[in-house]
C-alpha cells in the first residue's frame, strides 16, 4: 500500500532523525555541517519534535574556523556529516563537499578528517551523484512531491517562531531567463513580492526593484 504524501513526509523526518542519531556518536569530534538557512532550523525542529539528540552543529560559513580548530588539535580525528532538508539537483551539496575537500587538502588533514555521509529527508532520483560518499535519504518519491515537501517543511520551520522572511537577489543571463524565472516564482509563491529588473522595463518598474 502506497503511503500518502503526509505520512511519507513525517516518515522522512523520522528517518533522518534516526540516521543521524545512529551515525553521530561524539559531541566533540563528530561535526554536523547543516546548510544554511533551513538546515540548522530543520535540526532544531527534529530535536523538538522527533527526539534528535544533541549534536555539534555548524553551517558552511564556519568552515574556516572549524578547520583552523581541527588543524590545531593534533590528537583527534574528526568526522563530518553534511545535512540539508532535501536534494533536488545536488549542486549546493556538491559545492560544499568540494570546499571541504579543499580545506582538507590545504591543511593536510586527509588522515584526520572524513566526510561520513550526506543526510537529507528526500533526494530526487535525477540529482547528481557524490562519488564515494554515501547518501542517507528517501528517493522513492513521486513526481511533484518536492513542492508538497517544501510547503510542509517551511510551515514546520516557521512553527519554531523564527522568521524565514528575507530578500533574495538572483542574477540571470538575460531578459528571457528573468521573465521565465519570474513566471515560475509567481506561480509557486503567490504571496511573495517579486521585482524583475532589466533594461526594457519602464523606469517606474525599475525603481521598484531597487527601492
Q: How far apart are CA 53 and CA 20, in angstroms?
A: 9
pLDDT of residue 2: 57
Query: pTM for this one?
Result: 0.74
Q: What is the pLDDT of residue 183?
A: 83
Residues 6+ apart with CB under 8 A from 43: 32, 34, 52, 55, 57, 83
195 vs 150: CA distance, rounded Å: 22
What pLDDT is attached to residue 1? Answer: 42
| Contacts for 164 with CB less than 8 Å, ≥ 6 apart | 37, 38, 41, 154, 157, 158
Q: What is the pLDDT along the chain (211 residues), one digit of tens a residue?
A: 457 889 999 999 999 999 999 999 977 899 999 998 789 999 999 999 999 999 999 999 899 999 999 999 999 999 999 999 998 888 889 899 999 999 999 999 999 999 999 999 999 888 887 878 999 998 777 877 888 898 999 889 888 875 545 567 777 778 888 888 888 778 777 677 888 888 888 888 877 777 6
Amino acid at each position: 500500500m502506497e503511503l500518502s504524501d503526509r505520512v511519507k513526509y513525517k516518515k522522512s523526518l523520522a528517518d533522518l532523525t534516526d540516521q543521524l542519531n545512529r551515525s553521530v556518536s561524539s559531541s566533540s569530534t563528530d561535526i554536523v555541517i547543516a546548510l544554511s538557512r533551513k538546515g540548522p532550523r530543520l535540526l532544531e525542529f527534529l530535536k523538538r519534535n522527533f527526539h534528535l539528540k544533541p549534536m555539534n552543529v555548524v553551517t558552511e560559513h564556519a568552515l574556516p574556523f572549524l578547520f583552523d580548530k581541527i588543524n590545531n588539535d593534533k590528537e583527534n580525528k574528526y568526522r563530518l556529516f553534511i545535512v540539508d532538508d532535501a536534494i533536488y539537483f545536488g549542486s549546493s551539496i556538491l559545492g560544499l563537499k568540494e570546499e571541504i575537500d579543499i580545506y582538507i587538502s590545504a591543511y593536510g588533514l586527509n588522515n584526520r578528517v572524513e566526510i561520513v555521509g550526506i543526510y537529507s529527508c528526500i533526494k530526487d532520483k535525477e540529482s547528481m551523484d557524490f562519488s564515494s560518499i554515501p547518501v542517507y535519504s528517501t528517493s522513492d518519491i513521486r513526481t511533484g512531491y518536492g513542492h508538497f515537501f517544501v510547503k510542509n517543511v517551511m510551515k514546520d520551520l516557521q512553527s519554531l517562531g523564527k522568521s524565514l522572511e528575507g530578500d533574495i537577489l538572483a542574477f540571470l543571463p538575460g531578459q528571457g531567463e528573468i521573465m521565465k524565472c519570474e513566471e515560475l516564482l509567481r506561480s509557486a509563491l503567490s504571496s511573495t513580492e517579486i521585482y524583475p529588473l532589466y533594461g526594457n522595463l519602464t523606469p517606474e518598474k525599475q525603481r521598484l526593484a531597487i527601492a
